[in-house]
Copies of this chain bind each other. A is one copy, B any other.
Amino acid sequence: MMIMRSNKFRIVIVVADGLGDRAVPELNGKTPLEVASKDNIDWLTSRGVTGLWDPIAPGVRPGSDTAHLALFGIDPTENYPGRGPFEAIGAGAELEPGDVALRGNFATVDKEFRVIDRRAGRYLPENKDLVKYLNENVGEIDGIKVRFYAATEHRVAVVLKGRDLSPRISDTDPHVTGVKVLYSKPLDNSYEARKTAEVINKLTKIVHDLLKEHELNKKRVERGLPPANIILLRGAGQMVKYPTFKERKFVIIDKALAISATAMIKGVCKLLGMEVVTPNGATGGVDTDVMAKAKTLIEYYNKDYDFIYMHVKGTDAASHDGRTDLKIRLIERIDLAMRYILDHIGLDNTVVIFTGDHTTPITVRDHTGDPVPVTIYAPNILPDDVKIFSERSARKGGLGRIRREDLFNTLLDLANRREKFGA
């Protein structure tokens, strides 16, 4: 026990979002990871243990939220509040337990509330301005605070804060055109569900009244575009309380930091009790300044942080866009940042891991449920024979194929930061 406590190592996690891939035809069946020049990641691989990690389970396609919960040791198949709250977090909301959040579309209805276009044309550059206008004019409904958050294209998130809320309400989005917007109905007999449905129905009316006369919508109509004159809501979910690292039973982590420029990731990290920083130049895109993140990592490493997570989103963005070249180039830039990190940490007292949060194959352009290659270095680890880091070589790694919270527990274990289970 004494020795355990004195030998606690630091933990450094570097994640390239959507890293893993499938065979890319334009690379003659190889993957970006197999083609990229990445001597430093391979150096780490040759000194550590490599394997495959299924963020949820084999074949299960994770979202960024569920993948990151699993990465940090929380089983997302238990207690997951649905996409509503996490979409809101991804759009910049800060949620507390009890808040109810819904996913929404700016849409077009006629005077009888009949849906003409469920996405108001989909391309909606006015999104942010309309959201700002709604936030300035809606405020509270029946004592419930209402906040809107702009997301991509026509998408928006709506967050309700207040007492006695329930996620047990039906959608107002009819999911088809030509019919009227639905009234939200309580899905159980609770006071909370009835109240929440009523707030949503009032909200829908208020939003329509505010939007239908809005200047930007008048201009859209003049240009022959469908006005964004309502928000269709779906997928209500109620935020749950996640335990922070400090609150978790077997976890021995005092100060944890996340470095990310992506709202969803920053939000999840905050929920779990991590401090979050976004260095200058970190954009969340393929143009992000990876070296700025690495320098921030070392800056905090030299303070007394014992857990540092560095997230690079661009590899996922490149994959969603089908840009093989950009994915390769970003992996190469991450490799240089990795060199800076490896040069500035103590390899005798740090556990280092490089992986993705999920796979986003270039050929699919979306998250898949393929396993993610992962390499782990730790002081006194027994290296395996894998010297090159790739989807294929990882299959032969000494770590084998592990899933969900196995990876986090392995890191804690190698860093001597997990309490014993049993006597």
Q: A61 touching B420 by the CB < 8 A rule? A: yes
Question: A29: which B residues are within 8 A, CB to CB?
Answer: 382
Bound-state Cα–Cα, A402 to B406, Å: 12
Copies of this chain present: 2
Picked from B23, B63, B363, B410, the residue with its CB within 8 Å of the CB of A422 is: B63
Per-residue B-contact encoding for A11-42, CB less than 8 Å = 1, 0 else: 00000000000111100010100000000000
Residues 53-87 of A at the B interface (beta carbon under 8 Å): 56-67, 76-77, 80, 83, 86-87
Bound-state Cα–Cα, A391 to B31, Å: 29
Shortest Cβ gap from A10 to chain B (Å): 16
Question: A363: which B residues are within 8 A, CB to CB?
Answer: 7, 380
Q: A87 touching B413 by the CB < 8 A rule? A: no
Q: A87 touching B367 by the CB < 8 A rule? A: no
Picked from B3, B24, B77, B406, the residue with its CB within 8 Å of the CB of A364 is: B3
Q: A395 touching B406 by the CB < 8 A rule? A: no
Question: A294: which B residues are within 8 A, CB to CB?
Answer: none
Residue A90, interface by CB 8 Å: yes
Question: A77: which B residues are within 8 A, CB to CB?
Answer: 421
Minimal Cβ-Cβ distance residue in B for A91: B423
Residues 398-423 of A at the B interface (beta carbon under 8 Å): 398, 400-402, 405-414, 416, 418-423
Shortest Cβ gap from A398 to chain B (Å): 4
Residue A368, interface by CB 8 Å: yes
Shortest Cβ gap from A134 to chain B (Å): 22
Residue A384, interface by CB 8 Å: yes
Picked from B25, B57, B67, B392, the residue with its CB within 8 Å of the CB of A406 is: B57
Residue A257, interface by CB 8 Å: no
Question: A52: which B residues are within 8 A, CB to CB?
Answer: 400
Minimal Cβ-Cβ distance residue in B for A406: B58
Residue A366, interface by CB 8 Å: yes
Residue A291, interface by CB 8 Å: no
Residue A221, interface by CB 8 Å: no
Q: B65 touching A264 by the CB < 8 A rule? A: no
Shortest Cβ gap from A423 to chain B (Å): 4
Minimal Cβ-Cβ distance residue in B for A23: B380
Main SS class of interface, A: loop
Shortest Cβ gap from A320 to chain B (Å): 9
Q: B380 touching A58 by the CB < 8 A rule? A: no
Picked from B3, B87, B401, B407, the residue with its CB within 8 Å of the CB of A365 is: B3
Bound-state Cα–Cα, A61 to B423, Å: 10
Residue A292, interface by CB 8 Å: no
Minimal Cβ-Cβ distance residue in B for A410: B59
Picked from B367, B398, B420, the residue with its CB within 8 Å of the CB of A420 is: B367
Picked from B370, B416, B423, the residue with its CB within 8 Å of the CB of A264 is: B423
Minimal Cβ-Cβ distance residue in B for A24: B380
Q: B413 touching A61 by the CB < 8 A rule? A: yes
Question: A395: which B residues are within 8 A, CB to CB?
Answer: 384, 398, 400
Minimal Cβ-Cβ distance residue in B for A87: B423
Shortest Cβ gap from A317 to chain B (Å): 15
Question: A412: which B residues are within 8 A, CB to CB?
Answer: 59, 369
Minimal Cβ-Cβ distance residue in B for A5: B366
Q: A361 touching B384 by the CB < 8 A rule? A: no
Question: A384: which B residues are within 8 A, CB to CB?
Answer: 392, 395
Picked from B4, B22, B83, B380, the residue with its CB within 8 Å of the CB of A366 is: B4
Given contacts A23-B380, A382-B391, A400-B52, contact A418 B61 (CB under 8 A): yes
Q: Given contacts A23-B381, A57-B405, A80-B422, could you give 11 more A-B pairs where the C-beta distance is less than 8 Å?
A: A1-B366, A3-B365, A31-B382, A58-B406, A63-B421, A65-B422, A76-B422, A369-B409, A369-B413, A392-B398, A400-B401
The 4 lowest CB-CB distance pairs between A and B, nearest first, are A63-B422, A59-B409, A66-B422, A59-B410
A-B contact pairs, 10 of them (CB 8 A): A22-B381, A23-B382, A31-B382, A56-B421, A60-B418, A60-B421, A361-B380, A366-B420, A367-B420, A392-B398
